[in-house]
Amino acid sequence: MSAQNPVFIPGPTNMPEALRKACDMPTIDHRSAVFGEILAPCLAGVRRVLKSERAQVFLFPSTGTGGWETAISNTLSPGDKVLAARHGMFSHRWIDLCQRHGLSVQVVEAPWGAGLPADRYAEILAADTAHEIKAVLATHNETATGVRSDIAAVRRTLDAAGHPALLLVDGVSSIASMDFRMDQWGVDVAVTGSQKGFMLPAGLAIVAFSDKAWRATETAKLPRTFFDVRDMGQSYARNGFPYTPPVGLMNGLRLSTEMLLKEGLENVFARHRRIADGVRAAVAAWEMPLCAEGPELWSDTVSAIRTPEGFDATKIVTHAAAKYGVAFGVGLGEVAGKVFRIGHLGSLTDVMMLSGLATAEMAMADLGLPVRLGSGVAAAQEVYRASEAKLEKAAA
Amino acid sequence: MSAQNPVFIPGPTNMPEALRKACDMPTIDHRSAVFGEILAPCLAGVRRVLKSERAQVFLFPSTGTGGWETAISNTLSPGDKVLAARHGMFSHRWIDLCQRHGLSVQVVEAPWGAGLPADRYAEILAADTAHEIKAVLATHNETATGVRSDIAAVRRTLDAAGHPALLLVDGVSSIASMDFRMDQWGVDVAVTGSQKGFMLPAGLAIVAFSDKAWRATETAKLPRTFFDVRDMGQSYARNGFPYTPPVGLMNGLRLSTEMLLKEGLENVFARHRRIADGVRAAVAAWEMPLCAEGPELWSDTVSAIRTPEGFDATKIVTHAAAKYGVAFGVGLGEVAGKVFRIGHLGSLTDVMMLSGLATAEMAMADLGLPVRLGSGVAAAQEVYRASEAKLEKAAA
Amino acid sequence: MSAQNPVFIPGPTNMPEALRKACDMPTIDHRSAVFGEILAPCLAGVRRVLKSERAQVFLFPSTGTGGWETAISNTLSPGDKVLAARHGMFSHRWIDLCQRHGLSVQVVEAPWGAGLPADRYAEILAADTAHEIKAVLATHNETATGVRSDIAAVRRTLDAAGHPALLLVDGVSSIASMDFRMDQWGVDVAVTGSQKGFMLPAGLAIVAFSDKAWRATETAKLPRTFFDVRDMGQSYARNGFPYTPPVGLMNGLRLSTEMLLKEGLENVFARHRRIADGVRAAVAAWEMPLCAEGPELWSDTVSAIRTPEGFDATKIVTHAAAKYGVAFGVGLGEVAGKVFRIGHLGSLTDVMMLSGLATAEMAMADLGLPVRLGSGVAAAQEVYRASEAKLEKAAA
Amino acid sequence: MSAQNPVFIPGPTNMPEALRKACDMPTIDHRSAVFGEILAPCLAGVRRVLKSERAQVFLFPSTGTGGWETAISNTLSPGDKVLAARHGMFSHRWIDLCQRHGLSVQVVEAPWGAGLPADRYAEILAADTAHEIKAVLATHNETATGVRSDIAAVRRTLDAAGHPALLLVDGVSSIASMDFRMDQWGVDVAVTGSQKGFMLPAGLAIVAFSDKAWRATETAKLPRTFFDVRDMGQSYARNGFPYTPPVGLMNGLRLSTEMLLKEGLENVFARHRRIADGVRAAVAAWEMPLCAEGPELWSDTVSAIRTPEGFDATKIVTHAAAKYGVAFGVGLGEVAGKVFRIGHLGSLTDVMMLSGLATAEMAMADLGLPVRLGSGVAAAQEVYRASEAKLEKAAA
């Protein structure tokens, strides 16, 4: 590993200079007015990134996993039934968390590489006329397989069934990188973290609650204190925090949302799309399939690439790290050894991405895979040449 | 508030330059070997700071509150009985957390300013012949009142009663600043955070489990996933983390423990004692009483100072912040408005402390309290002149 | 020495967080447009700080000494006569530099502690009817003695004599901290550095030329290349630099001037005056005289304090550094061992200053001087309490 | 320009994280002992990098240009004759500097792209039986043309002629990146800067004097104060500096030399050679000639690449900056518009270099040059795959 090279893992991402400096803050008194000047724009900024008018945003010194726990423990009670699909490691882990917290999870199994099976959800929800299902879980972007699912479709199934279940969405590796419409999609709880699209260090769970989810906190019986959004909300109302806040990270989030909104969310999404298109062009040139089953599922933040049968895909990752000092992602769970992953989210340029693709080519060639050097790079170069990207100005 | 002045709140503390730089780390792949090179010395270093040979140390992206939750949710089951004393805001909050998580808390009320009433614990434990009490909580240093309790005495009451309850200790504002002897005192779970004696930003709960506490994780039924120490332990065994770790903060902790151990724990404690002695000399010169009921209770990390009847102590804090840009701590809960607090822990020199005392004097004089300017400073100067402090070398 | 404590030397000064971060810049291409976005506001900002409408500002990777060399080598020729007063170490050094460069310096000796003897200048200039004197040197603020001289008075002597000599002024330890009026005082070359009032690291000579000084560059014959202002000016005209510029420092200067102008120059000067008043009140309480011969000479950036006969003043400095980790300035040259100096310029608060005064008291008491602990602090506290200082907001 | 991408200019170079942090230092008292702990290892470290046993090293807050001025003004007198070759912009500029300082320069003109014509030097020195030539100038690495000259050959010509002239060498863009043997080559003054092989910001001239050069300082009559090495040496002897030193940069240099020596100088040189080989392989694949006339002249720190007749090479640089945010170097002087330059020195990995080559390809293709995308990258990949580079560990 070399700290000089960019990382190409699907988070934590490379961090912009300005965000590192915003996080590296001297100690302030978090009970003073200065804290409110950091907190308020964070909450407002995240809300805009989520394309929501009214969602209540909460920030926990935690991670996406803590965000999942926040989502369920504030809205559900022991024994409650939830509907979830398992089609990758991260959807799997959320299911596991629910089960550990005493929920009854109806799991829809789907292939790792498929999207969330909205049609199966539709059947189950339609059949649940007693409305025993209290919440529906959805993983917007399966980081393990590079698959983006259609959250609007999940909302449609709920609406079609006239089902009142809450819609809880894991947007950890999509929010702030790919289009996410909390209000339009009727998302009740959205979960993400600081270390992906927000380009910050890990350490913050970022969770947003709709009005409906907020009302559910009144009856939810799962135990919670650290992750209690009502305590959090009461503290926010007086510019406070229920315990010691991670002020530096929050100052980073304040600036991150400012940078994202200044660039323009659609520009941010287009930038991720362009860089992802280059990666996909390279993968096609290598004649290797993506794990994602079809183009409509392609993630713009991470690509999982299937290597030939009999080849241990993990070797690419360990070799690239050991010989070239570059980090890619290994396959996890069912696709361990079958895929390697290229993260392409956060603070990244076309130029940085080309160095990742060039490295992947060297590693694959070193390991005997039939990849022609320069072939993927050339394909990506064609994509990047075609863009009329506006460059951010260097820090002045 | 002015970022140029030191803070004198009881945490987060002022941060040494070197620790800020250690935390401000570029992104690395937390699944690479580099991560293990950060994790392992963190765990070993914390263990030594706790004066433990065998405790298992766990680091959560969280805070002390999350540490409390870790302590109980990994060792106890719903309905379990625990014994706790309430003698300040932080002991109160831990009790509240236990209650929210469905534990049955036997609360011993004590004056805010008193130490933990070990004699009452002794009576209760002796009477609990059925061993219904599963855990005993103790707050080593009540940050709200500046009171240090005698944890060894709690251990003696347990031993005298032959009681098997676990001893869970909140050492958030004592560990790494005041003597803490996990093994000698028979502490089963010790809880602290990054932002006090470790002189880091907030964002890490640091929790240590004895063998006995570890065994309790097997039967504990409180729900947990984010705070599950068994997941954490399994990940550590392969130099991993169960979710995305806050690598920069951990890198800071690695260096923090290195710095503390290099200075020598007894020297660190003596430094805190010396600075605290200066503060107490100033308070005496001001002819104001400490909240702590007696010298044996004096905390070396925070002093809560009682202001005259009829005076709103909080005004000192708001005035010092507004006019002089200096942060002190307000009174909390029962002692709100009755005390103000001076934090004197973490990265602090005699010289910095004098500026805090001089500021307190100006603020009190401005507000009409009968404090002679320079009087407290002079008393502290006498204390500091007498020391033969070894100076740390400036960063080279 | 301890990096935790502020420094109280008369430069380099304590640095604001924001300026350190502005200087700590990643590498950019100094031949790209980004460079111009840093250079232009630097030049404009310095010009405003100098209260000049038309002066040409030049920045050299150098120090104040290089600034002195720039001033003379661009305006004078070998053998040229210059008039200068020696009344401290820094006026002495500039004279020495002139002599080494082959100038004929008419030196007016004055006591170390006196101001520039404008009356003697007047006599000499009036007598120089042949206008052999080509330049008059003046040290606005003698850092060695804490003496501010009256530059307007020097201008008046020149005007009264109808003398065409250039007026070259060393404003290293005054500019950006004390009032400086380049245009109104008819200063032809003003010299300063980055590490004093601009609160930056050492490394930049900042020099400004009047139109008259600029015209003198055409005939000046002293050799120069590195310090040639014409090369510099030509490069600036195309947003360039004649060699590799210290971009980070310049980026710091850009922000420094922005911060100074936002605070308001008169507010900056008043802040320095207030902090200096506190120091002088403390010195009076200690019953020790300033080196400066009278109040009209008092410098607002540095105070040189005379210690009793027979006492080695340098001991205070070495003892304060060794025992308390605090840096003061020693006496230099003629006043070595007779004075110690307290720097009070740059990024400093009343609160920080009090810690310096408290330390000086401890050091003097330790060394047996008859200083009552707290006495100087109390006197300064009275000064600082009386102010209605507006606090800068902490970095958000 | 994008601060996210590496730069590929021939200095300032990309900076390692650790060096940026070493430079970003809080203010210390440069008259305290701490300064000596920074200065001494700097001087010793630079001496070892120069492969010298006895050279005296001097550090000026300046740049390479200031280093040139130091070299001549401390060793020569007005009217002295020096021998120099002009075969690029930087050798040209040094000649110009000499002339401005009143030296009589015998200039040997050589093609831009040729090395220093040692045979012409030999003739001239042999003919100079009166030893009127006092110094011989040599540019080790012409940054403008990417040409390395043979300094040992210059030494041989001097020795063969029994000529006592000093050998003054510009090693600005070679030292610390390419082999430099001060003692073995009999170099009398070596000049470099902080911003090339030392991987630091610009701001330090680094100059080393042999015993013979040191003796010359006694008789040299060129005026000097700021650049006087005798003042500097006297100050160093008591761990001081003749004026305010740039402490942060020096702290960076201390660490830089430590890092270079820990990696091993031969490993550093081999790394530069390997990365340069990759660049040269790419250039060959593009079927474009280097400016350097032959392989024996190839520089390992910068390659100047000739573009086809009629094509304005500068366009590549401006286009790459504007569209891709990547900085390359333009042609200067005689080769302006005819070459563009790729810097490949300092803190650089194979992987970073590939992104530079990929960008150059895109830019050239965009501008209509007949470059096949991926062709140069593939050629460089072959070079980099073949290496068994040891990776530096990421900062922990």
| Same domain as C197, residue C58 | yes
Interface check for A17 against chain D (CB to CB < 8 A): the answer is: yes
Taking the CA of residue D356 and the nearest CA in chain B, the distance in Å comes to 21
Chains that touch A (3 or more CB pairs under 8 A): B, C, D
Q: Each residue of B112-171: pLDDT tens digit?
A: 999 999 999 999 999 999 999 999 999 999 999 999 999 999 999 999 999 999 999 999
- List pLDDT tens digits, range A140-172: 999 999 999 999 999 999 999 999 999 999 999
For the segment C310-321, what is each residue's pLDDT rounded down to a tens digit? 999 999 999 999
Q: Considering CB atoms only, which of A13, A29, A62 is closest to B327? A: A29
pLDDT band at D388 (very low <50, low <70, confident <90, very high): low
CB contact under 8 A, A5 and D381: no
Residue where a domain stops, chosen among B219, B246, B262: B262
D284-320 pLDDT tens trace: 999 999 999 999 999 999 999 999 999 999 999 999 9
Span C3-7, average pLDDT? 91
| Angstrom distance (rounded) from CA A22 to CA A42 | 13
Taking the Cβ of residue B366 and every Cβ of chain C, the question of whether any pair is shorter than 8 Å is answered with yes
Of all helices (H) and strands (E), which one includes residue A133?
strand A133-139
The Cα of A377 is separated from the nearest Cα of chain B by a number of Å equal to 23
CB neighbours (10 Å) of residue D368? Answer: 9
Statement: residue D129 has pLDDT above 90: yes
- Which residues from B are below 8 Å from C355, CB to CB? 351-352, 354-355, 358
Q: Mark yes or no for CB contact D395/B25 under 8 Å.
A: yes
Confidence of residue A3 (pLDDT cuts 50, 70, 90): confident
ipTM of the complex: 0.96
What is the distance in angstroms between the Cα of C1 and the nearest Cα belonging to chain B? Answer: 6
Domain presence at residue C182: yes
Report pLDDT digits (tens) over B287-313.
999 999 999 999 999 999 999 999 999
- Same domain for C255 and C292, yes or no, is no
**pLDDT over 70, % of chain C:** 97
**What is chain A's mean pLDDT, rounded?**
96
Q: Which two structure tokens, joined as six digits, stand for A210?
A: 């709709």
- Please, which pLDDT band fits residue B97 given cuts at 50, 70 and 90? very high
Are residues C62 and C131 located together in one domain of the fold?
A: yes
Q: What is the mean pLDDT of residues C129-137?
A: 98
User: How much is the pLDDT for D393?
Assistant: 43
| DSSP single-letter state for residue C105 | E
Average pLDDT over chain D reads 96
Residue B101 touches chain A, beta carbons under 8 Å = yes
Average predicted confidence (pLDDT) for chain B: 96
Q: Please indicate whether, in this complex, the C-beta atoms of B63 and A61 are within 8 angstroms of each other.
A: yes
Considering only CB atoms, B396 lies closest to which of D37, D393, D394, namely D37
Q: Rounded distance, CA C105 to CA C324, Å?
A: 43
**Listed residues A262, A279, A310: the one ending a domain:** A262
Chain pair A-D, CB pairs under 8 angstroms: 136
Q: How many CB pairs under 8 A join A and C?
A: 30
pLDDT at C394: 37
Does C394 contact chain A (CB < 8 Å)?
yes
User: pLDDT at residue B390 above 80?
Assistant: no
Searching chain D, which residue's CA lies closest to the CA of residue C317? D32
Chain C residues touching residue A17 (CB < 8 angstroms): 26
Domain boundary among B227, B262, B297: B262
- How distant is the Cα of A30 from the closest Cα of chain D, in angstroms? 25
C-alpha–C-alpha distance, residues B237 and C281, integer Å: 63
Task: Please indicate whether, in this complex, the C-beta atoms of B32 and A245 are within 8 angstroms of each other.
Answer: no
DSSP code of B187?
Answer: -
CB contact under 8 A, A25 and C254: no
pLDDT surpasses 50 at D330: yes
Looking at the fold, whether A320 and A239 belong to one and the same domain comes out as no
Residue B35's closest chain D neighbor by CA? D396
Does D230 belong to an annotated binding site? no
Which among C7, C223, C246 has CB closest to D201?
Answer: C246
Q: Name every chain A residue with its beta carbon within 8 A of the beta carbon of B1.
A: 28-29, 32-34
Domain interval for residue C345:
265-386
pLDDT in tens, D237-292: 999 999 999 999 999 999 999 999 999 999 999 999 999 999 999 999 999 999 99
User: Which residue from C350, C355, C378 is facing B352, i.e. has the nearest CB?
Assistant: C355
Q: Say what the pLDDT of residue A388 is.
A: 64
Residue with tokens 């700590």: C24
Q: What is the average pLDDT across D93-97?
A: 98
Nearest to D34 among B21, B26, B396 (CB): B396
Together in a domain, D162 and D309: no
Q: Domain for residue D199, yes or no?
A: yes
Residue C114, helix vs strand vs coil? strand
* One-character DSSP codes across C286-341: TT--BSSSSGGGB-SSEEEEEPPTT--THHHHHHIIIII----EE--GGGTTTEEE
Contact list in A for residue B23 (CB cut-off 8 A) is: 24
Say yes or no to pLDDT of B394 above 60. Answer: no
D56 and D159 inside one domain = yes
Question: What is the DSSP pairing of strand C339-343 with strand C329-330?
Answer: antiparallel
Question: Contacts of residue A29 in chain B, CB cutoff 8 Å?
Answer: 1, 7, 9, 321, 327
Chains that touch B (3 or more CB pairs under 8 A): A, C, D
The pLDDT of residue D385 is above 70: yes
Assigned domain for D38 exists: yes
- My answer on whether B167 and B234 are in the same domain is yes
Enumerate residues 6+ apart whose C-beta is below 8 A from B388: none
Tens digit of pLDDT for each residue in C200-254? 999 999 999 999 999 999 999 999 999 999 999 999 999 999 999 999 999 999 9
Average pLDDT over residues A220-248: 98
Per-residue pLDDT tens digits for A23-73: 999 999 999 989 999 999 999 999 999 999 999 999 999 999 999 999 999
pLDDT at A272: 98
Q: Which of D21, D26, D394 sits opposite B34 (nearest CB)?
A: D394
The per-residue pLDDT for A389 is: 54
Give the C-alpha separation, A203 to B60, whole Å.
9
Do B181 and B45 fall into the same domain?
A: yes
Q: Tell me the CA distances in angstroms from B6 to A78, B2, B349, one per residue in order.
A: 47, 9, 10
Instruction: Pick B225's closest partner by Cβ from A69, A249, A330.
Output: A69
Residue A1 located in a structural domain: no
Asked if residue A360 and residue A294 are part of one domain, the reply reads: yes
**What pLDDT is stored for residue B389 in this prediction?**
54
Count the domains in chain C.
2
C269 and C210 within one domain: no
Task: Enumerate the residues of chain D whose CB falls inside 8 A of the CB of residue B25.
Answer: 395
Residue B253 in domain: yes
D23 plus D156 within the same structural domain: yes
The shortest C-alpha distance from A359 to chain C (Å) reads: 24
Q: Within an 8 Å CB–CB cutoff, is residue B322 touching chain C?
A: yes
- Chain D nearest C-alpha distance from A165 (Å): 44
Stated length of chain C: 396
pLDDT of D96 over the 70 cut = yes
Nearest residue on chain C to B346, judged by CA atoms? C4
CATH (domain of D155): 3.40.640.10
Residue among A21, A28, A396 minimizing CB distance to C21: A21
Distances (CA, A) of C213 to A246, B53, C186, C224, D267: 54, 74, 11, 16, 52
If you measure CA to CA, which chain B residue comes closest to D18? B21
Answer whether residue B133 is part of any domain: yes
| pLDDT higher than threshold 70 for residue C395 | no
A chain contacts of residue D19, beta-carbon cutoff 8 Å: none
User: Which residues of chain D have a CB within 8 Å of the CB of B254?
Assistant: 396
Neighbours of chain C (3+ CB pairs under 8 A): A, B, D
User: Are B223 and B175 in the same domain?
Assistant: yes
Average pLDDT of the segment spanning C363-385: 98
Nearest in space to B94 (alpha carbons), one of B118, B66, B117: B66
Number of CB atoms found within 10 A of residue A57's CB? 22
CATH at A332: 3.90.1150.10
Among D169, D173, D226, residue whose Cα is nearest residue D195: D173
End-to-end CA distance of chain D: 30
Evaluate whether residue D82 is within a structural domain.
yes
Of the listed ranges B145-154, B158-167, D121-130, D379-388, the one predicted with least confidence:
D379-388
Report if residue B312 sits inside a domain.
Answer: yes
The number of C-beta contacts closer than 8 angstroms across A and B is 160
Please tell me which residue of chain C has the smallest CA distance to B378.
Answer: C374
Which has the minimum average pLDDT: A392-396, B342-346, C45-49, C324-328? A392-396
Using omega within 30 degrees of 0 as the cis cutoff, is the peptide bond preceding C12 cis?
A: yes
